Amino acid sequence: MPFSAFQDFVALVNDRYGAPGDPYAEEQNSDYESGTVALGANVWRIRTARVTPKKPGAFVAVWCRDEQGETRPFDSSENVSGLLVFVRGEDQQFGVFRFTSDVLERMGITRSERHPGKRGFRVYPSWSSGLNRSAQHAQHDQASSFEILR
């Protein structure tokens, strides 16, 4: 898998997030350039969000298969620092959502005692506009995790 968004991320941030290792591809969600990668001493899941034609923002899948082959949300107790979601916009815009494990649990993305978790969700970079009330709320909640890189 080429991990083109991750390569762009590394080129733009240098080692600001820690020296990058080579991404390890995850079998599921390959359409989203899914994998894990070490950045310094931290291991992160990585995904590239996909822009869909009928809704603002971008969609990202965040599930894995359990021992029985069923899809399930990631668990909040897994030993990763969080999730990096790369997103591209019009006019060469490029950014990253850096969702820590705590933020993912608070947002109900990862499975925990408090939340069943989600298998996917939409991200709304700061350049997304024309959002309905629910999307505006999500964009506000995600804003502190988002960084425009280009």
Q: Which domains does the chain have, with CATH numbers?
A: 4-148 (3.40.1350.140)
Query: Please, what is the average pLDDT of the chain?
Result: 93
Which two structure tokens, joined as six digits, stand for 63? 């599930």
How many Cα atoms within 13 Å fall on the side-chain side of residue 42? 16
Write down the pLDDT at residue 1.
Answer: 67
Task: Say how far apart CA 125 and CA 89 lie, in whole Å.
Answer: 9
For 36-53, what is each residue's pLDDT tens digit? 999 999 999 999 999 988
Residues of the chain with pLDDT under 50: none
